[in-house]
Amino acid sequence: MEIQNIDHSNLKFEFFDVTADVGYTAYGNTLSEAFGNAALAMFEVITDTSKVKPKITKHLKVESEDEKALLYDWLSELLFVHDTEYLVFSDFEVKIENIIKKGETLFILEASASGEEFNREVHESRDEVKAVTYHMMNIKKENGCEVRVILDI
């Protein structure tokens, strides 16, 4: 699959080679921005996100025990919405916070994802994403944030 980075002046994500899967690294000044760009990259695997108009906005909330689980759950939730409601997204507003609950740290992501229903006449059909994986998943927070994701296609 040949996919170009969609914003070369302010790199949001870049793909790397993984046998039989798709891998990418998403970037952001904050963890929230990197998670939003990770979602954008996932939908870029599915279709050309530059053709997706923000007609419908979904509000999502995900809670997890750590940041990797939060990334996995966030992308999996978006994939579930895509698979069940046939929506594709191109714009993401993400807010991440952590709280202490019963002595345990809980990570909470609240987001809005904007897009529209997938239409073959408008949207290019690229690869079907079967699942998000934990394989090689990584989160780095040095000089901004970067998250690495492998998708099963």
Domain membership of residue 98 (yes or no) is yes
User: pLDDT by residue (tens digit) across 1-56?
Assistant: 444 444 434 789 999 988 889 999 999 999 999 999 999 999 999 999 999 999 99
CA pair distance 146, 138, nearest whole angstrom? 8
Q: Is 153 annotated as a binding residue?
A: yes
| Count of domains observed in the chain | 1
Average pLDDT over every residue of 61-79? 98
**DSSP secondary structure, 42-66, as one string:** HHHHHS-GGG----EEEEEEEEESS
pLDDT digits 0-9 by tens, 101-151? 889 999 999 999 999 999 999 999 999 999 999 999 999 999 999 999 999
- Which range marks the domain in which residue 85 is found? 13-152
pLDDT score recorded for residue 3 = 46
pLDDT for the residue numbered 10: 79
Residue 21 marked ligand-binding = yes
pLDDT above 70 covers what percent of the chain?
A: 94
| 114 is a domain residue | yes
Residue 2 pLDDT:
43
Give backbone dihedrals phi and psi of 70, rounded to 5 degrees, phi first.
Answer: -65, -45
- pLDDT recorded at residue 6: 40
132 in Cβ contact with 78 (< 8 Å): no
Domain presence at residue 1: no
Q: Is residue 68 part of a domain?
A: yes
Q: What pLDDT does residue 19 have?
A: 86
Structure confidence at residue 133 (pLDDT): 98
CATH number where 23 lies? 3.55.10.10
CA distance 68 to 73: 9
Question: How many whole angstroms separate alpha carbon 119 and alpha carbon 37?
Answer: 23
In a domain, 131, yes or no: yes
Q: Has residue 3 been placed in a domain?
A: no
In the prediction, which pLDDT does 60 show? 99
Instruction: Give 150's Cβ-side CA count (13 Å radius).
Output: 12
In a domain, residue 7? The reply is: no
Residue 69 lies in a domain: yes
pTM of the model: 0.92
Give the per-residue pLDDT at 119: 97
User: Which token pair is 143?
Assistant: 């000089």
